Copies of this chain bind each other. A is one copy, B any other.
Amino acid sequence: MKQRLLTPGPTPVPEETLLEFARPMIFHRTAEFRVLLAEVLADLQTIFCTKNLIIPLTASGTGALEAALANSVPAGAKIICLIAGRFGERWKNIAKAFNIESINVTVPYGQAVQPDQLAKALADHPDAIAVCSTLSETSTGVGHDIAAFGKLIAKTPALHIVDAISGLGAMECRTDEWQIDINCTGSQKALMMPPGLAFLSVSDKAWQAIDKNANPRTFYFDLKKAKKNLETSDTPYTPAHTMIRAMRVSLKKILAEGIENVWARQKRYAEAARAGFQALGLELFPAQPNTALTVVKMPAGIDSTTLLTKLEKQYGLKLANGQDTLKGKIIRLAHMGYIDQFDILAALGGVELVLLEMGHRIEPGAGLSAAQRVFAKA
């Protein structure tokens, strides 16, 4: 059976990129590899919409989050965490591990933190060193108004730190224009790569905080050392260099299309997926959805675990369940990276068939037609 991976990370990887991984090993301390690394980081600057230095890490995306906090916020200092789901909670948990006091602005799952909530937190805590937020809260499908957050934070001494792991490359994210001081991402979402690499962009304001922090409490993720090594396009430790080589191929695909065109296409996919699900009577879960993935609630009497198992076993369609308390209640369809409009039709087609099988009364093709009307407009 043909398999389709439609989970919000890992996402499918283009065949040309996968074939790069099959090429023979190279040594990494060479002029050739330095050129390659510099090219990949320059391409990432275009995708991040930033002139800031981008630091590559051999790690999961969480490694970039740890690097951001440990380097820029001293022990005992205070930060504001904007929490709308599991990934927002991760900021709070990293802060705890590094003895950083965290002021938590929390909204229920499915809601987004609003700019006025941040404004109040900043007013109440003028001593906050940083504000940590999440571009795409993958656990619920919520998107945050990072541009609005940036305007508020830039007026204060606090750093604007963003977890853009699952959003960057799938939805509008203008690092410099939105005044993001540290923007973190991972390889395995919209950047069309397997997991294993993480990246963060660092602004001048952030470097000042990092330089002032005498005790970064990390050796492996020491950003000052990484910056110094990048002066010669080098990394402090042996990087996952075959991943960097393969990533060049995926990034060139994004650049060939143009990052703003990718955002527009992703937005269309999100609209089509939403229209399709809604035509089947499935409600959107997030109040403020993002364009990297679509998350919908189950109709009464339908358990998402059963539905997802049938989709996978009977049709080779792999979508994601909710996590923790949301398990069984929602399904999550990713449409970022190497996923196209016909993959979305495949997902909707499978969901229609399984819903019918499970006794949910719908008109076959209703979801497909609704999605197709969105595609036809483009």
- Distance in angstroms from A25 CB to nearest chain B CB is 5
- How close is A152's CB to chain B, nearest CB, in angstroms? 27
Interface of A, helix, strand, loop or mixed by DSSP: loop
- Interface 0/1 of A1-38, CB less than 8 Å to B: 00101010111110000110111111110000000000
The answer to whether B12 and A26 touch across the interface, beta carbons within 8 angstroms, is no
Contact flags A47-66 to B (C-beta < 8 A → 1, else 0) = 00000000000111111001
Closest 8 CB pairs of A and B: A21-B21, A196-B240, A97-B219, A60-B237, A194-B242, A62-B237, A22-B22, A18-B22
Q: Are B240 and A195 in contact (CB under 8 A)?
A: yes
Task: State how many angstroms separate the Cβ of A156 from the closest Cβ of chain B.
Answer: 25
State the oligomeric state as a number of copies: 2
Can you list 12 contacts pairing A with B, beta carbon distance less than 8 Å? A5-B24, A10-B28, A10-B241, A18-B23, A59-B63, A60-B237, A93-B219, A186-B238, A194-B240, A196-B196, A196-B240, A240-B243
Interface centre among A9, A10, A26, A219, by most chain B C-beta atoms within 10 angstroms, is A219
- Given contact pairs A60-B220, A237-B61, A10 touches B22 in the complex (Cβ within 8 A): no
Contact status B62-A97, CB under 8 Å: no
Interchain CB contact under 8 A, B10 and A194? no
Whether A195 lies near B239 (C-beta < 8 A) is: yes
Of the listed stretches A210-218, A261-269, A350-358, chain B binds A210-218
Check if A136 is an interface residue, CB within 8 A of chain B: no
Does A271 interact with chain B (Cβ within 8 Å)? Answer: no
CB atoms of B238 and A60 under 8 A apart:
yes
Say yes or no: A26 contacts B5, CB within 8 Å: yes
| B3 close to A239 (CB less than 8 A) | no
Known A18-B22, A25-B10, A25-B12: A97·B217 in contact at CB below 8 Å: yes
